[in-house]
Amino acid sequence: MSKDFPARSYAPRPRKTAAAATAWEKPAQWYDNLVGAEGDDFYQKLILPTVLKRLDPKPGQTVLDVACGQGVLGRVLAAKGVKSLGVDASPSLIESARTRAGPLEQHAVGDARKLGDAVPAGTQADHAALVMCLQDLDPIAPVLSGTAALIKRGGRVVIALTHPCFRIPRRSLWGWDEEQGMQYRRLDGYLSPLSVPIKIHPGKPEDPTRTTSFHRPISTYLSALGGAGLGVIAADELCSHRRGTKGARSAAEDLSAREFPVFLVLTAVRLG
């Protein structure tokens, strides 16, 4: 074994899934401020336009917004005359969503892994969205089967994720190849699932607030969608619009920003 590449174990760590469901309650105010009324520039330029394009909802239709947070998607849908029903485990984020909501936006506190218990009996939405949340949920099979059960046959499910191939917590990072004059993306693992505690305030080591991010290879997402009776019809890989330094490396940095997507948006339809 080379001493440059010591053997490492990628064995999955035990998952604290119950705690993960409620972990967003503590940083709810921070998250509400971060997203604000319309989302940050990633939401406004990349995520929300792609989710809207793929949902393609018509005025009067209803979208189930799974793990809706403080309701950023519901507000954009309402502006287009589309109704939404948002479900989230954090009571404070649901309260923030309700504070900003108009008549087309409904919300419920509940666990995305038991959606049937969270929504009113008889709920049947046209489409569903899971925006930047499936990587916070574990296990995902009940989330996807519960979502499929609450939409009409032929309805679309649009899922926006941090890209599971190129943005893997603790396993992916940028590097600089001096000889080639190129920025590269280094991956230290990919296939093994991983649960990673994410510090909400990394600059404050004394602050214990953490959420959990679950890394899974892309095959896990695709197979879970199929297992829930959802057939993938489109995939969008979104590259960052942000540009870095104006220094000597800026051209190489721009090239890699255009080459390595930061988000993956999967669109599926309910088959059965």
Ligand X SMILES: C[S@@+](CC[C@H](N)C(=O)[O-])C[C@H]1O[C@@H](n2cnc3c(N)ncnc32)[C@H](O)[C@@H]1O
By CB under 6 A, tell whether 126 contacts ligand X.
no
By CB under 6 A, tell whether 131 contacts ligand X.
yes
Of residues 133 and 157, the one with the C-beta less far from ligand X: 133
Least separation in angstroms between residue 213's CB and ligand X is: 9
- Which residues, other chains included, contact 44 with Cβ-Cβ below 8 Å and sequence gap of 6+? 38
Exactly one of 107, 113, 127, 167 binds ligand X (CB under 6 A); that residue is: 113
Site string for ligand X, 1-40 (x = CB under 6 A): -------------------xx--x----------x-----
By CB under 6 A, tell whether 112 contacts ligand X.
yes
Exactly one of 52, 64, 68, 265 binds ligand X (CB under 6 A); that residue is: 68
Q: Is the CB of residue 48 less than 8 Å from the CB of residue 65?
A: no
Exactly one of 27, 57, 69, 164 binds ligand X (CB under 6 A); that residue is: 69
- Which residues, other chains included, contact 27 with Cβ-Cβ below 8 Å and sequence gap of 6+? 200, 209, 211
CA 212, CA 218: separation in Å to the nearest integer?
18
By CB under 6 A, tell whether 55 contacts ligand X.
no
CA 72, CA 32: separation in Å to the nearest integer?
10
Least separation in angstroms between residue 28's CB and ligand X is: 8
Total residues binding ligand X (CB under 6 A): 20
Phi, psi of 219 (to 5 degrees): -60, -35
CA 172, CA 186: separation in Å to the nearest integer?
5
Residue, CB closest to ligand X: 69
Of residues 137 and 228, the one with the C-beta less far from ligand X: 137
Least separation in angstroms between residue 15's CB and ligand X is: 12
By CB under 6 A, tell whether 266 contacts ligand X.
no
Sheet with 230-238, side-by-side order of all strands: 105-109, 83-88, 62-66, 127-131, 156-162, 263-270, 230-238
CA 257, CA 250: separation in Å to the nearest integer?
10
Residues 132 to 171: which contact ligand X by CB under 6 A? 132-133, 136-137
- Sort 23 into a burial class: Cβ within 10 Å, 0-12 / 13-18 / 19+: buried
Of residues 90 and 106, the one with the C-beta less far from ligand X: 90
Exactly one of 32, 88, 126, 253 binds ligand X (CB under 6 A); that residue is: 88
Least separation in angstroms between residue 121's CB and ligand X is: 19
- Sort 268 into a burial class: Cβ within 10 Å, 0-12 / 13-18 / 19+: buried
Positions touching ligand X (CB under 6 A) are 20-21, 24, 35, 67-69, 72, 88-90, 93, 111-113, 131-133, 136-137
